[in-house]
Structure 1
Amino acid sequence: MIHRSRSLLAIAVVSAIWQLPAQAEETSARVDDDTRLGTVLVTGTRGTARTVLDSPVPVDVLTAEDLKTAGASGGELGQALQTLLPSFSFPRQSNSGGADHVRAAQLRGMSPDQVLVLVNGKRRHTSAVVNDSSKIGRGTAPVDFNSIPISAIKRIEVLRDGAGAQYGSDAIAGVINIILDDAPEGGEVSTSYGAYHTHQDAIGKTTTDGQNSVTTAKIGTRLGEEGGFIRGGTEYKDRNPTNRAGYDGFADTPGQRNYVMGDGVARDVNAWFNGELPLAGGKAYSFGTYNERHTTGAEFYRYPSEQPQFYPNGYLPQSLGDNTDISATAGYKGLIGDDWDFDSSVTHGRNRFESATRRTLNVSLGADSPTRFDTGDYELRQTTTNLDFSRELRLGGRSFVLAVGGEYRYENYLTFAGDEASYIGSGADGANGLRPSEESDLDRNVFGTYAELSGDLTDRFFVDAATRWEHYDDAGSKLTGKLSGRYKLTDQWALRGAVSNNFRAPSLAQSGFQNTTSNFGDGGTLTDIRVLSVNDPIARALGAEKLDPETSKNFSLGLTFQLNERFDASLDVFRIDVKDRITLSQRIGSDALESYINDNFGVPGVHDVNFFTNAADTSTDGAELVLNYHQPFYDGQLGLTTAYTYNHTKVTSTKGTPSQLTALGIGNDALVGVEERNTLTDAAPKDRFVFSANWTSEHWGLLGRLTRQGETTRVFDFGDSQPEQTYGAVWQLDAEVTYKFTPKFSIALGGNNLTDNYPERSGSAINYGGNLPYDVLSPIGTNGAYYYATATYGF
């Protein structure tokens, strides 16, 4: 398999370099000056403007057109980023608690909360809900990429390097900066419809489901005569569910399909704006986004034998999520004297997630039990104030840029109890409600200052040095630094590299989140598992400790090559060492633990728990290759891109089981056992490969994309057994055809995963009686082939 992959990569490299014959005059299709290479970056250095290949660290640039042609089902930004960026993973979760409603993304195989997301250069808040039952992103409160509409975006800059010294906590794996549309006039309306049409081998049927529609509108107008503008838009998304569950091997009647595995229902309303107004010699600006989403998720089926008096035919509980996400920024920038540029701003972000469950019951309430329960609400509030200054300096006869600034951030995390029927007695089956005693109201103040100096030491050598000090009133202080540089070897070749130390303070959600979900326990049986806050008295009695910040050391070295205006290449290798990595412990349970909790805290029926820890140190090594080629071809412009990424994470050390747990007979590796090691190391693909070809002319646009999703590994710990399965790599073929009837009106027809490929089927030790035939680990997902059509009108 390795040799085959290398051969395919070599073919792709050769095809990208090959000088395809131009079938038209050079003058009929000139190279567009506004390419990714010519884009002036605002991410990665606060000093001298750099372009993609001039940057001392790897930066990907995705245009609005790139995002449109990604063919993301349901208009999901996260899905579009995964399609376009091999280093970005956004797997579809199912039967995964909060992850069914808010999906988590990874950059460079790191945790979702180890990437910092900016909008117009300002820090974006995270979700309020913790993914406690998912595999990818387990134990994290990720940024909700799908709360940002694709139609609002001008471009995205993805910095693939540690940048804590420049931008602050969370930027261990990198930074994703989303630049909003700022066109001062004109508008656009667009509507898209798509569905999955697939053959499900697990049930031997061809089905069509997951129908979804996306309708967007945006418009802009100038303000005044000196460059002011206001632009805004709305978006509505409607997604029907999919189901890829198999026939139930545990059912009394053959051919029953009792489980649901796939996407749930989703309804989204988005709104956004971006504006700027010349004022008093400077510019006032403001921008914001709003998202309201209603979603459903799948839980595990309950058999008739479990509650025959209430549901003689069995029942399938369903999780519900009402998600409201708001972000707004206001600022002013201008000049102080003749030398200093300044930018002052305030950003407020808020996410509220209201959880519920239906089609279930509270057994202890008997016939009076409701079948729908509000199980608790979670809310994160974040207000950030920034003040930044920059100026040009002359040092040693050369020009440098000095940037200095400060940041103050206030964060508040609150949780609210569910209705009484959701937690009283045995609680709602499958989704025990949050109790009043488990509510949280945590807040903290964060102060930060930074300085950065960048410029050309010589005609060939560019350097950038940054340092940052941050103080969290609940997590202490940390000084970080970064040194990066680019050395021009020849007119075509350049060497670049960086070294930095970074840190990530534990999120308030990781400190205050509590929840109860169902998952597979001893012997593979369905078990309720209670997530305990590290501040909970029960958790402290079991050995939980106050969370410390994660710290990391990042190293990168790269080589860039630009043969001419048509062909460029870059190869970067990196290493990220993380100490005191914050993870959610594995399921910890025993009869002795249940008795201990009942005897000492008066809480009955708690057999299995987990809580957050700093119990693991990890090391990640990787490499990333990007090749671009474009030239005039048949009265149009042809572009070829080849990208490959590889990363491998290993656990270098773990902390032992707390003495409080060993006293209860809990064995070694209770905190970081085989399942959590699997989450950190092998659950996400180690490598991904993407080759795309794009041809555009006055009227036509043709796109083809071939993606290889690398292998993944799943490990379960059922107590008496630890089944493991490695799923092989999967190929995915996407294509799109666009026809422009006029310069303003176009229609696109496309499909993703046209060969209708699925991940390898799970074995009998993992598929739970055939109910869950596929794992959710592979980025290809389990929905099969997707087809769509989009109509766009600009004005």
Structure 2
Amino acid sequence: MALVLALPAATAMTAAAQTTSPTPPAAASTKVGQVIVTGTRVANRTVAESTAPIDVLTPAMLEATGTTELATALSRALPSLNFPRPAITDGTDAVRPAQLRGLAPDQVLVLINGKRMHTTAMLNLNGSQGRGSSPADMNTIPIAAIERVEVLRDGASAQYGSDAIAGVINIVLKGSAKTGGMAVRAGQYKEGDGTTWQVTADEGMGFADGAGALHLSAQVVRADQTDRARAFVGPATPTSAPTDRVVQRFGDPEIRQHALGYNGKITISENMTGYSFGTFSYRNALSNGFFRPAGDTRNIPAIYPNGFLPQIRNRAKDQTLVFGLRGKVFDNTRYDLSYNHGHSFISFGVENTLNRSLGPTSPTQFYAGDLDLTQAVWNLDLSTEFAPASFAPISVAYGLEYRTETFAQGAGDRASWINGGVLLPNGSPAPGGAQVYPGYRPSDAGQFDRHSHSAYIDLETNPVEALTVGVAGRWEKYSDFGSTSSHKVALRYEFSPAFALRGTYSTGFRAPSLQQQYFQSTSTNFISVPGVGTVPFDIRTFRVNDPAAIALGAEPLRPEESTNVSLGAVLQPANNLYVTVDAYRIQVKDRVVLSENLTSTAVRNFLNSSGFPDIGGGRYFTNAIDTTTQGVDVVGTYKMTLGAGAVDWTLGYNRNKTEIDRIAPNPASLMAIDPTALRFGRTETGRLVVGSPRDKISANAIYRIGAWTLNAAASRYGEFTVRGATPALDQTFSPKWVGDLSLGYKLGTWDLSVGADNILDEYPDEVIFANSTGGQLPYSGSSPFGFNGAFYWARVAKTW
């Protein structure tokens, strides 16, 4: 059998860090024997036997990228993963969403040790990829805690439930009682900013008489801001930014993060083992808004005579706790009974700002409110194997799940949202609330919950030696929208050790999140207006059950439904050469999306007369579109000797395209208010169909000789397009190659390494002037590799 890891060269890095002589070429073949736990419930299933593409990434590979963020490391390793670095997008600056296979960030399920990870309380609302999503925040997990990451690139709702439309990312934590280590990493961008420090440590320990083990891990990260803003270009006026200096900041936020993890087990009896694991994270992030010039109507010169740059202080607490019992009953039936508790709490502070409607007595910092999400999951998973007469053995897994979710939104302090009534100098009403991020109002606050229960069955068998067949089905019922079901069929046939075919057909679903149903706020958005330029609007995000939203066409949200078809080939045409090709087609019906910002005069007049006098527009979530995403993943690896050393080569390619099959017509209620309104127009359709790279190439070579390891990687990010309010403001960004290089040396139990990410200091194309806010924002936040330039780093590590 020959099934290749999408990045087996990554696995080789672990060996490179632990040996002082080249691994024989034959060792490469053992990688396909890696036992996996994702996408199957059969014990001891290997990568080589999987019916769907599985990527296995080791911590050594993640650390070799030079980044402190798990999601960033995954995006550099996986051609099918997109992880842009947006800026000036409020909380999204700190909690960035990732996309798998061109789909939405919340259409991929994240697991920790096979257990569902909760999503973030954050809702991404502004102009970034993943707008409208609340995915899991993988960057809360310390890299030091990770044994490996398994990425299933296939629909898996029938196996795991909601969210697994694009695939599953399973983060497996270290559990060894005998290993440990410590590492210090430091780095800085070529421009002299973004200085980053990371300290990681992990330690395993065993219990008396070998009855159990506990592995602890910790991570501390300190990252300073980056800034690629420029001075305003144009005639200086009292309402414009100054032209003689840079007043805007545009780049990564300042991050201070502490994270802990543990993974333990203890033998209770011959057929029962208790286990528990958890992660804990605290992140303090400071990001920037848009500069308010001295003469701007949103400024009070008595407070800020030279204007001001408001900032958002985001404090996030995240934790996962899992307790369980597993073992065997009735000789051949394995059981796993577990309780899983997840919690995400995010608070928002606004600094260096003011509330214009309070006049010169306005505070300059505010507490803007908080978001809180809690998930509790009870699982009973059973599996057994039986052999019917005259038929091959069948592995059967079945189980039950009960899940509760609670989302709460807390109001900010009164000064952060109130309109104090102080008028502008011309007698017009002043905007209320804290500038850049008005606080959540008491009417926004509330607590919302739901529960669901489900049952599943999953069968796998080999009716003949060369054929693997898998069938799965799942039924779920939610308290807020009813029941749904999904199923999956998977086949793999090995014609010879050099060639195999595999394919899957599955249906899936994603339940609309509580955040999408109940989040409500007002925030300032900068929107491109034809003939005017970029204009600030205070946009109200309405709950779908709000009377104003209903008048604008909002309806109760329904679950997304998907159909996923894939066909792949696995080839081993020569010794040490492995190639996989997997094509896929994913249809999503009733996709949950955030509508366009509805800012027409008719809509504003309606909102202003409906109790929202300060609002410049509104938006809400809707099931208004159907999409089809088609693509292909191609991965090849080759291991060869080179002199006294060995080289692992990896080449990966992903190409995908999303098309919109349906956009629902406007409801009659919205047509009555504004017959020209577009709930889903060119800006949002562009974000879905052309907003991320059409293709991506990842190439990697690891050369190992003696105690030295040289790692060279290059990624080509394909073109993407950002659509403006009119075609004249559209811009297509050209493909870019980004190269990374690192050199490591092993001295006993010490590892020393230096490296450069984006070593050639590549930047995306500059945005056209009309979209750059007077030249201040020269790059697009949709760039798949950011816009910070070259990053240089060094790392010292010791293992034991």
TM-score by length of 1: 0.93
Matched, 1:726 2:737: no
Matched to 2:196, the amino acid is: N
1:285 to 275, 290, 295: 275
CA positional deviation for 1:471: 0.6
Gap change, CA 1:570 and 1:33, over 3 Å in 2: closer
Q: How does 1:698-777 map to 2 (within 5 A)?
A: 698-717=706-725, 723-742=729-748, 744-777=749-782
What RMSD over aligned residues (CA atoms) do the two structures have, in Å?
1.7
Number of the residue aligned with 2:406: 412
The DSSP-based 3-state class of the residue aligned with 1:595 is helix
Q: In structure 2, how many angstroms separate the alpha carbons of the residues matched to 1:666 and 1:347?
A: 48
Deviations 1:523-581 (A, max 9, x none): 32122112111122221222211100000000000000124551111000000000000
CA positional deviation for 1:594: 2.9
**Cα pair 2:731 2:767 within 8 Å, conserved:** yes
CA positional deviation for 1:48: 5.2
Q: In structure 2, how many angstroms separate the alpha carbons of the residues matched to 1:703 and 1:27?
A: 14
**Cα pair 1:133 1:517 within 8 Å, conserved:** no
**Cα pair 2:178 2:204 within 8 Å, conserved:** yes
CA positional deviation for 1:27: 9.4
Number of the residue aligned with 1:553: 563
CA positional deviation for 1:113: 0.3
**Cα pair 1:559 1:572 within 8 Å, conserved:** yes
Deviations 1:597-626 (A, max 9, x none): 3333x3311121111000010000000000
Matched, 1:622 2:631: yes
Matched, 1:492 2:519: no
Number of the residue aligned with 1:11: none
**Cα pair 2:25 2:576 within 8 Å, conserved:** no
Structure 1 runs not aligned, ≥5 long: 1-25, 198-206
Q: How does 1:80-229 map to 2 (within 5 A)?
A: 80-197=73-190, 207-226=191-210, 228-229=212-213
Matched, 1:694 2:702: yes
223-232 vs 638-647, greater mean Cα deviation: 223-232
The DSSP-based 3-state class of the residue aligned with 2:396 is strand
**Cα pair 2:22 2:706 within 8 Å, conserved:** no
Q: In structure 2, how many angstroms separate the alpha carbons of the residues matched to 1:338 and 1:543?
A: 58
CA positional deviation for 1:365: 0.8
Number of the residue aligned with 1:256: 245
Q: In structure 2, how many angstroms separate the alpha carbons of the residues matched to 1:192 and 1:572?
A: 37
Number of the residue aligned with 2:642: 633
The DSSP-based 3-state class of the residue aligned with 1:662 is helix
Matched, 1:43 2:52: no
Q: In structure 2, how many angstroms separate the alpha carbons of the residues matched to 1:34 and 1:68?
A: 24
Q: In structure 2, how many angstroms separate the alpha carbons of the residues matched to 1:474 and 1:782?
A: 42
Deviations 1:421-451 (A, max 9, x none): 0110011122111101111211011101000
The DSSP-based 3-state class of the residue aligned with 1:470 is strand
Number of the residue aligned with 2:66: 71
44-53 vs 695-704, greater mean Cα deviation: 44-53
Matched to 1:223, the amino acid is: F
CA positional deviation for 1:640: 0.3
**Cα pair 1:53 1:560 within 8 Å, conserved:** no
Matched, 1:539 2:549: yes
Q: In structure 2, how many angstroms separate the alpha carbons of the residues matched to 1:697 and 1:406?
A: 51
The DSSP-based 3-state class of the residue aligned with 1:65 is helix
2:602 to 592, 612, 619: 592
Q: In structure 2, how many angstroms separate the alpha carbons of the residues matched to 1:229 and 1:328?
A: 17
The DSSP-based 3-state class of the residue aligned with 2:738 is strand
Deviations 1:376-400 (A, max 9, x none): 1000000001101101111333112
The DSSP-based 3-state class of the residue aligned with 1:582 is strand
The DSSP-based 3-state class of the residue aligned with 1:209 is coil
Number of the residue aligned with 1:10: none
**Cα pair 1:639 1:694 within 8 Å, conserved:** yes
CA positional deviation for 1:114: 0.1
176-185 vs 497-506, greater mean Cα deviation: 176-185
Gap change, CA 1:712 and 1:33, over 3 Å in 2: closer
Q: In structure 1, how many angstroms separate the alpha carbons of the residues matched to 2:480 and 2:38?
A: 29
Q: In structure 1, how many angstroms separate the alpha carbons of the residues matched to 2:659 and 2:650?
A: 30
**Cα pair 2:28 2:639 within 8 Å, conserved:** no
443-452 vs 253-262, greater mean Cα deviation: 253-262
208-217 vs 557-566, greater mean Cα deviation: 557-566
Q: In structure 2, how many angstroms separate the alpha carbons of the residues matched to 1:27 and 1:642?
A: 21
Number of the residue aligned with 1:314: 307
**Cα pair 1:515 1:532 within 8 Å, conserved:** yes
2:332 to 335, 339, 364: 339
Q: In structure 1, how many angstroms separate the alpha carbons of the residues matched to 2:25 and 2:166?
A: 37
Number of the residue aligned with 1:200: none
Q: In structure 2, how many angstroms separate the alpha carbons of the residues matched to 1:536 and 1:629?
A: 58
Number of the residue aligned with 2:53: 58
CA positional deviation for 1:666: 4.8
Identity of aligned residues (%): 38
Q: In structure 1, how many angstroms separate the alpha carbons of the residues matched to 2:262 and 2:30?
A: 26
Number of the residue aligned with 2:428: none
Deviations 1:260-317 (A, max 9, x none): 1101110000000001111122211000000000001121111111133432211111
CA positional deviation for 1:722: 5.8
Q: In structure 1, how many angstroms separate the alpha carbons of the residues matched to 2:26 and 2:229?
A: 49
Q: How does 1:270-281 map to 2 (within 5 A)?
A: 270-281=259-270
Q: In structure 2, how many angstroms separate the alpha carbons of the residues matched to 1:693 and 1:270?
A: 32
Matched, 1:507 2:516: no
Number of the residue aligned with 1:12: none
The DSSP-based 3-state class of the residue aligned with 1:260 is coil
CA positional deviation for 1:33: 6.5
CA positional deviation for 1:490: 1.6
Q: In structure 2, how many angstroms separate the alpha carbons of the residues matched to 1:427 and 1:243?
A: 27
Deviations 1:465-509 (A, max 9, x none): 000001111021111100001011122100000000000010001
481-490 vs 35-44, greater mean Cα deviation: 35-44
Matched, 1:652 2:661: yes
CA positional deviation for 1:227: 5.6
Q: How does 1:359-374 map to 2 (within 5 A)?
A: 359-374=352-367
Q: In structure 2, how many angstroms separate the alpha carbons of the residues matched to 1:34 and 1:222?
A: 32
Number of the residue aligned with 2:17: none
Matched to 1:121, the amino acid is: G
Matched to 1:688, the amino acid is: K
CA positional deviation for 1:762: 0.7
Deviations 1:718-772 (A, max 9, x none): 7xx7610000001001011000111x10110001110000001111121111011
**Cα pair 1:135 1:683 within 8 Å, conserved:** no
**Cα pair 2:538 2:614 within 8 Å, conserved:** no
Q: In structure 2, how many angstroms separate the alpha carbons of the residues matched to 1:78 and 1:479?
A: 30
CA positional deviation for 1:53: 3.3
Number of the residue aligned with 2:686: 678
TM-score by length of 2: 0.92
CA positional deviation for 1:632: 3.5
The DSSP-based 3-state class of the residue aligned with 1:60 is strand
Deviations 1:687-741 (A, max 9, x none): 10011000224411110001101111001227xx761000000100101100011
Q: How does 1:453-492 map to 2 (within 5 A)?
A: 453-492=459-498
Number of the residue aligned with 1:236: 220
**Cα pair 1:98 1:133 within 8 Å, conserved:** no
Aligned residue pairs total 755
CA positional deviation for 1:657: 2.0
